[in-house]
Structure 1
Amino acid sequence: MKKWIPILLVFITVLSCKTRKPADQNTAQNDSITVQTSDSIQSETGKNISDRLSFYEHIYIHPKFESVKINSKITADNIKVSPLDATIYIETDKKIWSNISFLFYNAARAIITPEGIKAFDRYNKNYIDSDFEYLNNLLNINFIDYKTLEKILLGRTFLQVSDRNSSITKNADGYQLASIVNQKIITNEQVREYKVNMQYSNDYDLTLVKLQDVKSNDAIEIVYSDWVTFDDNIRMPQNVKIIIKGSKISQIVLENTKFGFTKMETPYSVPANYKKIEIK
């Protein structure tokens, strides 16, 4: 199963790592945040250089667009047949569609909406049709929903750290937003604690997200690089690297080679003879 689910390769292929809960489920729901405008950002020398409101506006508010088509190559440590060629189409707030191929063979297709995930595998002739709960359970997290996936693929800030429990510092490379106390989340009467570190360039492009479970060595890092600018100041990362650290280390890389902003058809139909896979 882990070898074929298209757009979720960035998560599904590393299920065995079992990362801890690294984020609040409410953090991925809103593009804005309330901050104390009188607080300033400290440079590494201790100098106040700007207020936090301006920083948060830059990292959470981005130019809008209706859709984007991304041609990508996907490589992963535990995928035998790689790189995989992927066409990823995102219609903002509505759907993520993907077609995966290998050596010109259309191997798999997926469509993800706020309601759930659908995908089929042409090689094994099977498919899935599920909500996001199974993915969160498998990864031992609770923040994955449609909007979070969309933001991760686009290099948008998908976490919101409490302003009173975080620090923002400025250095020559850009900005660093870090939790200064362990962040807690309660799910099913279980309390998890984690540390969050996010780094941004001087242009406020997200360059690194790190979520560290404070009670174990489990961590996840997402690295963004080679940002490019399009019309209306829309910026996209050409490279997305996801590193999962647990009982073993796994790495997945998306190399985005081409972007387009026109609408396209997103056909999805499971052949009648395919078998449904129940994910447990």
Structure 2
Amino acid sequence: MRKLVYIILLVALASCGVKKAASTSTSEDISAKRLITEYYNNALTYKTLDARTKIKYRDKKGSKPTVTLTIRIEKDKKIWLNASLIGFSGARALITPQKVQFYDKLNNQYFDGDFTFLSQYLGVDIDFYQLQRLLTGLTVYDLREGKYTFKETQTGYEVTPKKQLKEALIFFGIASQNFVTQEQRIEQTDGNGTLDIAYGNYKEVGGKTFPFSLDILADDGRNQSQVQIEFRDIDLDGEVRMPFSIPSGYEEIKLDAKR
């Protein structure tokens, strides 16, 4: 259960605003701006999100029992996760732009820190807002910021930064039919890890299309872990409760981000 929470949190991983096309704009620039506009026009809009999901996890040691995970988001403020097995809560997390906190009831342990270990583990900076976008079907980097290259493929567009990061290579796949995210990939340039997220089973939620399945594959060169998230129900803009209190007597977890 503790490793499952780590993977969920890892799932966890220069601005130049979009301006009106000037007379010097190329056809490539105009097409990119149109694609970005269509992409965000189709993005889910919400103030709060309350979702019930099923989680399947496997690594080189084999598959683990299916876990029920409740995901609650107060946009741009809080992400709350509650994992339960056979009806009993086993782990809970509360994530804000400043902190990452979770506790594991099965092992009487807790973690209270920030996103630093996530950034070190992935080799790229990852923050609250990127995690929020990842969980709700958007590219971890906002395409309206920075400059990107759009390469047409058989099913859509491969999107990459015009200037890749020093620590990692970033790739996004966007469908041409409805301009939704197909996949995301973060590849460490030192060859020590990759993170792949595939999205599918899109359904209408709040007048937008939302991926009801996420397939997350993490490979650190020594072990390959896979987390499959299947959304069951999603409620938008209702009141959400996020109870969280680390129980007394629990042992603090010291994470080694470089493992």
Trace 1:223-234 onto structure 2 (pairs within 5 A).
223-231=198-206, 233-234=207-208
AA matched with 2:126: I
Q: Which residue matches 1:17? A: none
Trace 1:176-215 onto structure 2 (pairs within 5 A).
176-179=158-161, 183-185=164-166, 192=167, 194-215=169-190
Note if contact 1:65-1:92 (Cα within 8 Å) is conserved in structure 2: yes
SS in 2 for 1:226: strand
Give the counterpart of 1:89 among 68, 72, 92.
Answer: 72
SS in 1 for 2:3: coil
Rounded to whole Å, the distance in 2 between the matches of 1:276 and 1:163 is 38
TM-score, with length taken from structure 1? 0.76
Cα 1:176–1:193, aligned 2, differ >3 Å: closer, same or farther? closer
Q: Which residue matches 2:253? A: 277
Alpha-carbon deviations, 1:3-38, whole Å to 9, x = none?
253xx5335599xxxxxxxx8xx68xxxx8436843
Cα 1:165–1:154, aligned 2, differ >3 Å: closer, same or farther? closer
Note if contact 2:82-2:91 (Cα within 8 Å) is conserved in structure 1: yes
Q: Which residue matches 1:169? A: 151
Give the counterpart of 1:133 among 110, 113, 116.
Answer: 116
AA matched with 1:279: L
Trace 1:235-246 onto structure 2 (pairs within 5 A).
235-246=209-220
How far has the Cα of 1:72 moved from its partner?
Answer: 0.7
How far has the Cα of 1:148 moved from its partner?
Answer: 0.7
Q: Which residue matches 1:67? A: 48
SS in 2 for 1:52: helix
Cα 1:103–1:156, aligned 2, differ >3 Å: closer, same or farther? same
Q: Which residue matches 1:18? A: none
The answer as to 2:230 corresponding to 1:255 is yes
SS in 1 for 2:246: coil
Rounded to whole Å, the distance in 2 between the matches of 1:162 and 1:277 is 37
Moved over 4 A (4+): 11-14, 160-166
TM-score, with length taken from structure 2? 0.82
Q: Which residue matches 1:188? A: none
Rounded to whole Å, the distance in 2 between the matches of 1:166 and 1:141 is 20
Rounded to whole Å, the distance in 2 between the matches of 1:199 and 1:9 is 24
The answer as to 2:139 corresponding to 1:157 is yes
Alpha-carbon deviations, 1:237-264, whole Å to 9, x = none?
1001111234243221111111111222
AA matched with 2:54: K
Query: Please, which moves more after superposition, 242-251 or 126-135?
Result: 242-251
SS in 2 for 1:51: helix
Cα 1:217–1:114, aligned 2, differ >3 Å: closer, same or farther? closer
The answer as to 2:244 corresponding to 1:268 is yes
Consecutive unaligned residues of structure 1, counting only runs of 5 or more, are 15-22, 43-49, 186-191
Cα 1:13–1:215, aligned 2, differ >3 Å: closer, same or farther? closer
Instruction: Give the percent of matched residue pairs that are identical in Structure 1 and Structure 2.
Output: 22
Rounded to whole Å, the distance in 2 between the matches of 1:210 and 1:229 is 25
The answer as to 2:22 corresponding to 1:40 is no
Q: Which residue matches 1:107? A: 90
Rounded to whole Å, the distance in 1 between the matches of 2:124 and 2:84 is 30
AA matched with 2:183: L
Rounded to whole Å, the distance in 2 between the matches of 1:93 and 1:143 is 17
Rounded to whole Å, the distance in 1 between the matches of 2:36 and 2:46 is 20
Consecutive unaligned residues of structure 2, counting only runs of 5 or more, are none
Q: Which residue matches 1:146? A: 128
